[in-house]
Amino acid sequence: MTRDARPERTPDGRYIVVGGRRWRATDPLIPDNDASRLRSHLMAARRAVGAARRAQDEEAERAARARVQLAKVALGERGTPWWEQSEEERRARWRKGLRALD
């Protein structure tokens, strides 16, 4: 997969396949702008995890991992599967995540 290529999806669209392993796909209902903001928060939180680990700062690492979890849940990649939620529940999930992360 090239950097700009989209990962392979399962036929039902619920998962992406990377290196032969299935991962839950981002909720396709999330508007592009909101999904982009959530991905930015996710990547910043992942960088913060790495920085905290290098600094051996356990408290900062816990806080950063909590932000990773918030972003992943908001994206629909963790927590209740997005395909089991109503559209209203899905919107509430990512909006709550953005409020917490912004």
* pLDDT tens per residue across span 16-48: 999 999 999 999 999 999 999 999 999 999 999
CA 79 to chain centre: 11
pLDDT bracket for residue 51 (50, 70, 90): very high
Instruction: Indicate the pTM of the whole model.
Output: 0.91
Gap between the Cα atoms of 69 and 36, Å rounded: 16
The DSSP output letter for 26 is P
Gap between the Cα atoms of 82 and 66, Å rounded: 20
Query: How much of the chain exceeds pLDDT 90, in percent?
Result: 93
Question: How much is the pLDDT for 4?
Answer: 58
Within 8 A by CB and 6+ apart from 69, the residues are: 78
